[in-house]
Structure 1
Amino acid sequence: MKFTHLMTDLETMGTAANAPVVAIGAVYFDPDTGAKGETFDAAIDVEDAMRYGRVSGSTIKWWLGQGDAARQKVVRGTAPAARVFEAFHGFCLKHGSDVRPWGNGASFDITILDYAFGRILDKPAPWKFWNVRDCRTIKELAEGIVTFNGKLEGVAHTALDDANHQADWVSVYWQGLRSKRFGPTDTVASIRAVTSSDDLLV
């Protein structure tokens, strides 16, 4: 099965665009069905990661406040950043160049990856900028319309576990928002009439 949507999640030592990346998790998925495909899970040696970014003291304090399982996962890496990013670059193109990357925040995961590909590999990110998607936007749009009750499987703040969870709830919201409320023959006028009426107030 060919996938174009790719959910990503990072573990970092900062929140700015130049944050050192210490783990990358990603999973291909189809938001129309919720099906998931290949996964990527790699941890970077923390010391090597620091060479390519700027650490945030507040992020270090945040990590120290997390559970043992999450802290151990974030420092488990032994691979150099260049090797992990080269592998991830290829993974992103596994189903072609029309990949649609998702991140949980318009200025976090994808922005950090854009910076890191240039800084570490001296090459652009393997996606077109107009294909970038944001989890938080679709979640806000779906509030009051669709409910997601799924539980995270695995360890919170672990890149691949978070990416899998995000793919699950994005698929639920996607399907709810794209339900057959309007058909292909609905006119703009009829859609406006319905969306301005009280029946959409929930």
Structure 2
Amino acid sequence: MNEPVKHLMIDIETLGTSGGAKILSVAATPFSNPWGVTIEKHEPFYEKINSKSYALNEGWYEDEGTVEWWAGQSEDARSEAFSGTREPESVMVELAAFITELNPATVWAKGFMDTTMLEWAFKKYGIKTPWHYRAPRCLRTVLKTFGSELDCGSHYLNEAGHVPHNPVHDNDYQIAQLEELFTYTRLVLE
């Protein structure tokens, strides 16, 4: 890395949409913008969790509607999401250590669901949230506010190997959207 990482894009795949839903996979992709709007991505953190490894009666749940939604996704997406072998607590400990070491100024996600659900999981396992409370940023809000007329990052979706709902691929797409938006609007990512 040529300069310290200032930003992090997070994406998770889950079996629900609020705190306590089982997390299937998580990716955290560090990125920086050493030359203004050109974004430099760094090696991501990526782990898949075994959905059967969540302890019973500890507040974790599976939402029936989300389970049905997964049934309608591609075989590649389902295979990736449900092939986890890791225990959730160990993944959360490793994720927190990864983020703490980076100490990003901003933590981006497409909506606040991902960061909120991770904060719930960290609290559940007695882990300090590894980002400052002012660090979360919502990519969806920025896109709706400044890029409603743009089709930011859509070229990335057509690249070979992109699997929707793979958190690493989704992070790459979301970072491409952010970079393209900042290029067109001349906004500066700080």
**In the TM superposition, what is the alpha-carbon distance from 1:47 to its structure 2 partner?**
0.8
Residue 62 of structure 1 corresponds to 69
Between the aligned partners of 1:124 and 1:94, the Cα distance in structure 2 is 13
Q: Which residue of 1 aligns with 2:29?
A: 27
User: Match of 1:101?
Assistant: 107
| Aligned positions of 1:1-150 closer than 5 A | 1-30=3-32, 32-49=37-54, 51=56, 53-96=60-103, 98-106=104-112, 108-119=113-124, 121-144=125-148, 146-148=150-152, 149-150=154-155
Q: How many residues align?
A: 177
Q: Distance in 1 between matches of 2:71 and 2:47?
A: 21
- Per the TM alignment, residue 104 of structure 1 is displaced from its structure 2 partner at its CA by 0.8
SS of the equivalent of 1:151 reads helix
Assess if the C-alpha contact under 8 Å between 1:45 and 1:80 holds in 2: yes
Tell me how far apart the structure 2 counterparts of residues 162 and 63 of structure 1 sit (CA, whole Å): 16
Distance 2:81 2:187 in 1: 39
Q: Which protein shows a greater Rg?
A: 1
Counterpart in 2 of 1:200? none
Query: 163, 173, 176: which is aligned to 1:168?
Result: 176
Matches of 2:168 and 2:80 in 1, distance apart?
Answer: 11
Q: What is the deviation of 1:179?
A: 4.5
What is the Cα deviation at residue 125 of structure 1? 1.2
Q: 1:144 to 1:166 in 2, by over 3 A?
A: closer
> 2:155 aligns to what SS in structure 1?
coil
Structure 1 unmatched runs, 5+: 181-202
> Once the two structures are superposed, what CA deviation does each residue of 1:11-34 show, in whole Å capped at 9, x if it has no partner?
000011221111001211125322
Give the Å deviation of 1:99.
3.7
How far apart are residue 93 of structure 1 and its match?
1.9
For residues 88 and 175 of structure 1, what CA distance do their matches in structure 2 show?
30
List structure 1 runs of 4+ shifted beyond 6 angstroms. none
TM-score normalized by structure 2?
A: 0.85
- Contact 2:164/2:170 (<8 A) preserved: yes
Q: How far apart are 1:58 and its partner, in Å?
A: 0.1
Q: 1:138–1:174: 8 Å Cα contact kept in structure 2? A: no
* Aligned mates of 1:168, 1:50 — CA distance in 2: 37
In structure 2, runs of 5+ residues without a counterpart are: none
C-alpha RMSD of the superposition: 1.9
**TM-score normalized by the length of structure 1:** 0.80
| Alpha carbons 1:4, 1:30 under 8 Å: kept | yes
